[in-house]
A = this chain, B = another copy of it.
Amino acid sequence: MNELRVAVIGHRFMGRAHASAWRQVGHFFELPRRPVLQVICGRDPAATRAAAETLGFLEAAASWQEVVRRPDIDLVDICTPVALHHPIAIAAAAAGKAVFCEKPLARDATEAAEMLAAVRRAGVPHMLCHNYRRVPAIALARRLIAEGRLGQIHHFRGVYLNDRLVDPQAPRTWRHDRAQAGGGAVTDLGSHMIDLARFLVGEMTEVAADLRTFIAERPLPDGAGIAPVDVDDAATALLRFAGGAMGTLEVSRFGTGHRNYNCFELSGSAGSLAFNLERLNELALFDRADRTLAGFRTLLVTERDHPYLAAWWPPGHTLGWEHTFIHAARDLIHGIATGEPVSPDFEDGLRAQRVIDAIQRAALSRRWETVPET
């Protein structure tokens, strides 16, 4: 079988998650090409060598610029802080590599548009890693919506909360620095929720929003003093969808009591759906056709005919968070092999970024802002 040699740029949280996916995917799914964990790339040589060993890569490298040009590399998988997505993706595309990029695609829509132009110009496969589209319960939600089981959708309600910043001593990392991250909760958590809203309901046309930074300064992680936080801790927004639905969005790092509460609910003319990532094997479905015996059904999404599940275990044996990356890797490999586009791609990333930018604009302008179509 043809190999697919992968270079992962970044070896922290996301690098580890992606590495696990590349290692595992071929042991559960039939693949047209076999992924090879060729090289992992990071700034600190010792740490990168250790990561290569721990995570199962053949090589460690320090220069992403060199890595993306290596002729033996087929796919560049970008797991760096957000600010690096743009240069790496453009360089990788220019070198003719397939590009897999962690979310959010970029710091803003301008960067995102340039990245999309680059992959299009180069004609390379591109995929944005919004892994939650591949939670089986969410993929099932999409299938049920496509089948018309919700009818006309009236409401979307998306809430994504963690509570990492409630403690004033929680350190300021790159995630709280606009230059590196592009934004705060609105980009980090908001990009997930906006991608899901697009995936399930469709495009948003207008937004009103509020952003807040509750704690303006935080200690640096290395004990080197205090630094300002110039991104939002939390964002709320009202959404209007092209299809007629109205929506609300709340993302926050001050959601006390919630660790990874990515929770949404859709109400339609025929039914409703609800999901919570902390119970990612479950989907709640309400079907109006059940009439006076109707109620939200808690589906345990582990059946063979639920999305991705045939590859795993018998019904009732749950998956975890990291499996979503395996599903993404599976679909990306198929896309690369077949030449079929895989979604979400950089265009999806650009469209999501336009919503994020509109939210940020609306928070400043104090009025509804239009999400540009182009």
Q: Is the CB–CB distance between B313 and A238 below 8 Å?
A: no
Say whether A186 faces chain B, with CB atoms less than 8 Å apart: no
Say whether A184 faces chain B, with CB atoms less than 8 Å apart: no
Say whether A320 faces chain B, with CB atoms less than 8 Å apart: yes
A286 to B257: give the CA distance in the assembly, Å.
6
Q: Is the CB–CB distance between B254 and A318 below 8 Å?
A: no
- In the complex with contacts A248-B250, A259-B302, A293-B299, A20-B13 CB distance below 8 A: no
Say whether A243 faces chain B, with CB atoms less than 8 Å apart: no
Q: Is the CB–CB distance between A161 and B294 below 8 Å?
A: no
Q: Which residues does chain B contribute within 8 Å of A72, judged by CB atoms?
A: none
Say whether A227 faces chain B, with CB atoms less than 8 Å apart: no
- In the complex with contacts A154-B234, A210-B240, A298-B300 CB distance below 8 A: no
Q: Is the CB–CB distance between B212 and A267 below 8 Å?
A: no
Q: Is the CB–CB distance between B234 and A236 below 8 Å?
A: no
Say whether A79 faces chain B, with CB atoms less than 8 Å apart: no
Q: Is the CB–CB distance between B252 and A155 below 8 Å?
A: yes
Q: Which residues does chain B contribute within 8 Å of A161, judged by CB atoms?
A: 267
- In the complex with contacts A154-B234, A234-B155, A256-B278 CB distance below 8 A: no
Q: Is the CB–CB distance between B297 and A290 below 8 Å?
A: yes
Q: Which listed residue (B13, B23, B162, B257) contacts A23, Cβ 8 A?
A: B23
Q: Is the CB–CB distance between B271 and A256 below 8 Å?
A: yes
Say whether A333 faces chain B, with CB atoms less than 8 Å apart: no
Q: Mark A211-222, 1 if CB is under 8 A from B, else 0.
A: 010100000000
Q: Which listed residue (B209, B272, B313, B366) contacts A322, Cβ 8 A?
A: B313
Say whether A157 faces chain B, with CB atoms less than 8 Å apart: yes
Q: Mark A19-40, 1 if CB is under 8 A from B, else 0.
A: 1100110010000000000000
- In the complex with contacts A208-B208, A238-B237, A256-B248 CB distance below 8 A: no
Q: Which residues does chain B contribute within 8 Å of A317, judged by CB atoms?
A: 260, 320-322
Of A54, A297, A299, most B-chain CB atoms within 10 Å: A297
A interface, how many residues as a size bin?
A: 35 or more
A238 to B293: give the CA distance in the assembly, Å.
31
Within A253-307, which residues are at the interface with B (CB < 8 Å)? Answer: 254-261, 267-272, 277-281, 284-288, 290, 292-300, 302-303, 305-306
A208: nearest chain-B partner, CB-CB: B208
Q: Which listed residue (B56, B246, B286, B321) contacts A212, Cβ 8 A?
A: B246
Q: Which listed residue (B159, B240, B296, B303) contacts A297, Cβ 8 A?
A: B296
A154 to B163: give the CA distance in the assembly, Å.
11
Say whether A134 faces chain B, with CB atoms less than 8 Å apart: no
Q: Which residues does chain B contribute within 8 Å of A24, judged by CB atoms?
A: 20, 23-24
Within A140-162, which residues are at the interface with B (CB < 8 Å)? Answer: 144, 150, 154-155, 157, 159, 161-162
Q: Which listed residue (B17, B27, B252) contacts A20, Cβ 8 A?
A: B27
A20 to B16: give the CA distance in the assembly, Å.
17
Q: Which residues does chain B contribute within 8 Å of A155, judged by CB atoms?
A: 234, 250, 252, 254-255
Apart from A154-B234, A280-B318, list 19 A-B contacts with CB within 8 A.
A16-B313, A19-B27, A27-B55, A150-B256, A154-B214, A154-B254, A154-B256, A208-B238, A212-B246, A236-B248, A238-B238, A248-B248, A257-B272, A257-B288, A257-B295, A284-B295, A292-B305, A294-B299, A296-B297
